Structure 1
Amino acid sequence: FLLAYRSAPHVTTGFTPSLMVYGRELQLPEELVRPALTKPQFSTSYAFQLRQNLMEIREFARQNMGIQMRSQKERFDRHAKPVSFKSGDWVWVYEPKRTVGRCPKLQPQWTGPWTVARRRNDVLYEVQLGRMKKFIHVNRMALADVKKTG
């Protein structure tokens, strides 16, 4: 499995992991039976050339990673919905806790409803349940449809 992983080009970098680490491609089992058509040329300055090649490969990989990161962000942003809570909103908080001896599938995953006390930054909110306060990431919160009585 590792030979296949190390000898296959990675989508993000565009290079094989063996080329990124060792500066050369791995010799595959099929090449032991049937030798490659070209033999590698080694000179007296092999170490210097290897270092230059590794520096170039890593620079190309860094550029490819930047391109991949931007495309992944664009793909994520296409379907992402911005979520914002106001102070005083009622929310459910995702806290999966398992009690030993009870069926985990039937245990409650959400606690609350909590009250949003304040917004710390774009993704972190302080929520309050009675006297207990916690900072919760927005991905673990859902707006509670609670009707206030009284």
Structure 2
Amino acid sequence: MFGQELRTPVDLVFGAPPKPEVEGGHEMDYLRRLQERLQVAHVFSCQAQASSGARQKRTYDTRCWGQDFTPGDRVWIYCPSQTKGMSSKLRSHWQGPGEILQRLG
């Protein structure tokens, strides 16, 4: 539609499809250098995205603490259910208190 090849998310993950080599003399040098710079920028951005994702996961995992439950602890149980004719937004989805009987894993 705009005279350009469509870029899709697949292109961002796997890179652009291979293009045929452009024939021409020194007047095509700018095009070749531009294509090389775009390829380098694509590789750099993929590496930066991967390292950023790993860093964000590591940071999240250091602040994320789960709670250990032992038999005999009293807890509330999340049990979402729908009742015909009643809005689920107005219901409490928590039941209890319940008691931990045993730890499975």
Question: With structure 2 as the length reference, what TM-score do the two structures score?
Answer: 0.53
CA displacement at 1:69 relative to structure 2: 4.4
Higher relative contact order (CA 8 A, sep 6+): 2
CA displacement at 1:62 relative to structure 2: 8.2
Unaligned runs of 5+ in 1: 7-15, 26-36, 40-56, 122-150
Residue equivalent to 1:94:
78
SS in 1 for 2:31: coil
Instruction: Give, in whole Å, the separation in 2 of the partners of 1:17 and 1:116.
Output: 47
The 5 A counterparts of 1:15-94 are 17-21=10-14, 23-24=16-17, 38=31, 65=50, 67-94=51-78
Unaligned runs of 5+ in 2: 1-5, 19-29, 33-42
Alignment size in residue pairs:
80
SS in 1 for 2:96: strand
RMSD: 3.6
Question: With structure 1 as the length reference, what TM-score do the two structures score?
Answer: 0.40
Distance 1:114 1:63, change over 3 A: same
Distance 1:77 1:19, change over 3 A: closer
